[in-house]
Chains A and B, each alone.
Chain A
Amino acid sequence: MKIAYYPGCSAHGTGIETDQSTRELCRILGIELADLPDWNCCGASSAHVVSSELALGLNARNLAQASAIADEVVTPCPACFNRMAEANHHIKQHGAPEKAGSIKENLEVRHVIDLFSQKDMLKKIAKAATRGLNGMKVVTYYGCLTSRPPEITGAKNPENPTEMDVILEALGAEVIDWPLKTQCCGGSLTIPKDEIVANLSNQLYEMAARAGAEAIVTHCAMCFTNLERQWANPVEGDHPEPLPVFYFTELMMLAMDPAKAQAHFRRHLSDPNPLLSARGLS
């Protein structure tokens, strides 16, 4: 079955690993992705602040392209997912903007965590693994954008999502329960108000360490960058030791094709190697 694929702008920049590892996984798992032919930015956290029409217009153009390809469009970026899902929801209730082109009434917007965590897919994932994750202790960090608001995201449990948990557990990681799964990292404030983001990401590191995690696993390029910021540019004063950060798709690749996973890890600012050696995964 063919699924329309929207990579999003960070796929070519700060979130390059998440796009590449998603494509690699889909090839392994036999999911055919068809890129939107001439996609544009979803407007992310900025368009809706300055103009609701702009946010809707930018996403409607992408949704029309997706409609021409398939009944569902999937993206690895939580921000793109949230903005597309919001626009799709609005269009279903109020109709599309005049110039948007034809958007399917039954078009569904999905994030890759939803795609990979379906029951039949979990079986395929376990089968495709060439090795396990050897009990690596991780916390999963979902942040905001695939969880809230649930009437837009379709999250079954916005306070305690488990999509990444079931995937990582199927691959032999130990997923540790912790209370900050869906706490906000500060998102795009990282540029104009970095002190706020530093404080929020330090709270995450502190709680993850207290829970006994060896690493934080996320699906979001924004969260990933805000967490890794602590490695390159730590705030002065007392702060917890930062942990290695992974995309969940990278850890899936670590179980299926370790060499390709290593190529992604080389782009990290955090250093995963001591942990990987200790777990016999390097």
Chain B
Amino acid sequence: MTENTSPSTNPGQEICPASDLARRVQEATGVNAMECYQCGKCSAGCPLLEVTDLMPHDLWRLIQLGAEDRIKNSKHLWLCISCETCSTRCPNQLPLPAVLDFFRQEIIKDGQTPTEENVLHFHNAFLDTVKKKGRLSEVGMVQKYKLASGEYFKDMKLGMSMFFKGKIKLFSQSTAAKNEIRDIFKEAGK
């Protein structure tokens, strides 16, 4: 008698074998990308619709297919700001932003250049001030960002308006135990 490999009679059997990439994503994040059945509900609500190159359901499909380069070379990876509309509406509750964090962190770890470099310049500028003071210095962050991005005069009007309204402080507050903050960054390898 031949072995019956029908998925319905063998619950442990995979219906569709996962790509190596899908396995790697599952190991790192606990999320099984093979559960996506391409209904597209995620993409229908994505606020990046008009400006992005890949939609959320494309990203799930590319993980299933193992097309790592297309994901890592996408603008979407850096334009997504984790609004969580996609994950909240997903019938399988698949958390795309958490999975994108995994790809973003790999790119950073491998020293690759992100497709949207200024977005990473922003995150680095933000976290540099936190590492130093324990709290965000809005002025320090903007200075660091402008140096890294070369966008010296962008948003000057908005910044100055906010400064004159007393919303932007030149001197920011710090956490007292700065050594504890440095340790947290060190533990995370940052």
**Real binding pair:** yes
- B75: nearest chain-A partner, CB-CB: A193
- Check B136 against A44 for contact (C-beta < 8 Å): yes
Given A144-B83, A144-B84, CB of A58 within 8 Å of CB of B119: no
Give bound CA distance, A18 to B187, whole Å. Answer: 33
- Check B188 against A54 for contact (C-beta < 8 Å): yes
By size class, the interface of chain B is 35 or more
B82 lies within 8 A of chain A by Cβ:
yes
B95 lies within 8 A of chain A by Cβ:
yes
Give bound CA distance, A61 to B182, whole Å. Answer: 12
Give bound CA distance, A9 to B85, whole Å. Answer: 25
B70 lies within 8 A of chain A by Cβ:
no
Within 8 A of B (CB), among A49-96: 49-54, 57-58, 61
B149 lies within 8 A of chain A by Cβ:
yes
Given A54-B185, A192-B149, CB of A14 within 8 Å of CB of B175: no
A149 surroundings in chain B (CB, below 8 A) = 84, 87-88, 93, 95
B155 lies within 8 A of chain A by Cβ:
yes
Using an 8 Å CB-CB cutoff, how does the interface string of A97-121 with B read, 1 for contact, 0 for none? Answer: 1010000000000000000000000
Given A148-B85, A158-B88, A189-B81, CB of A49 within 8 Å of CB of B101: yes
B81 surroundings in chain A (CB, below 8 A) = 45, 184, 186-189
- Check B123 against A233 for contact (C-beta < 8 Å): no
Cβ 8 A contact of A13, one of B50, B169, B176, B183? B169
- Check B116 against A194 for contact (C-beta < 8 Å): no
Give bound CA distance, A266 to B166, whole Å. Answer: 10
A41 surroundings in chain B (CB, below 8 A) = 130, 134-136
B20 lies within 8 A of chain A by Cβ:
no
By size class, the interface of chain A is 35 or more
- Check B158 against A233 for contact (C-beta < 8 Å): yes
- B181: nearest chain-A partner, CB-CB: A40
B190 surroundings in chain A (CB, below 8 A) = 50-51, 54
- Check B83 against A13 for contact (C-beta < 8 Å): no
A1 surroundings in chain B (CB, below 8 A) = none
B172 lies within 8 A of chain A by Cβ:
yes
- B155: nearest chain-A partner, CB-CB: A194
Using an 8 Å CB-CB cutoff, how does the interface string of B77-102 with A read, 1 for contact, 0 for none? Answer: 00101111101100001010000010
- Check A12 against B184 for contact (C-beta < 8 Å): no
B108 surroundings in chain A (CB, below 8 A) = 50
- Check B83 against A189 for contact (C-beta < 8 Å): no
Cβ 8 A contact of A184, one of B85, B157, B169? B85
Cβ 8 A contact of B158, one of A47, A196, A229? A229
B173 surroundings in chain A (CB, below 8 A) = 12
Within 8 A of B (CB), among A14-65: 14, 16, 38-41, 43-54, 57-58, 61
B12 lies within 8 A of chain A by Cβ:
no
B84 surroundings in chain A (CB, below 8 A) = 144, 148-149
Give bound CA distance, A5 to B181, whole Å. Answer: 20
- Check B188 against A193 for contact (C-beta < 8 Å): no
Give bound CA distance, A188 to B187, whole Å. Answer: 26
Cβ 8 A contact of A38, one of B119, B127, B176, B185? B176
A158 surroundings in chain B (CB, below 8 A) = 88
A200 lies within 8 A of chain B by Cβ:
yes
- Check B127 against A50 for contact (C-beta < 8 Å): yes
Give bound CA distance, A196 to B176, whole Å. Answer: 37
A225 surroundings in chain B (CB, below 8 A) = 162
Using A43-B127, A43-B130 as known contacts, list a sample of 8 further A-B pairs with CB atoms less than 8 Å apart, ordered by residue number in A.
A14-B138, A40-B135, A41-B135, A50-B190, A51-B188, A148-B83, A188-B81, A232-B158
Which residues of A are in contact with B by a Cβ distance under 8 Å? 9-10, 12-14, 16, 38-41, 43-54, 57-58, 61, 97, 99, 144, 147-151, 158, 182-184, 186-189, 191-194, 196, 199-200, 225, 229, 232-233, 266-269
Which residues of B are in contact with A by a Cβ distance under 8 Å? 47-48, 50-51, 79, 81-85, 87-88, 93, 95, 101, 104-105, 108, 116, 118-119, 121-124, 126-127, 130, 134-136, 138, 142, 145, 149, 154-155, 157-158, 161-162, 165-169, 172-173, 175-177, 180-181, 183-185, 187-190
Closest 7 CB pairs of A and B: A148-B84, A54-B188, A184-B83, A9-B136, A57-B184, A53-B188, A192-B118
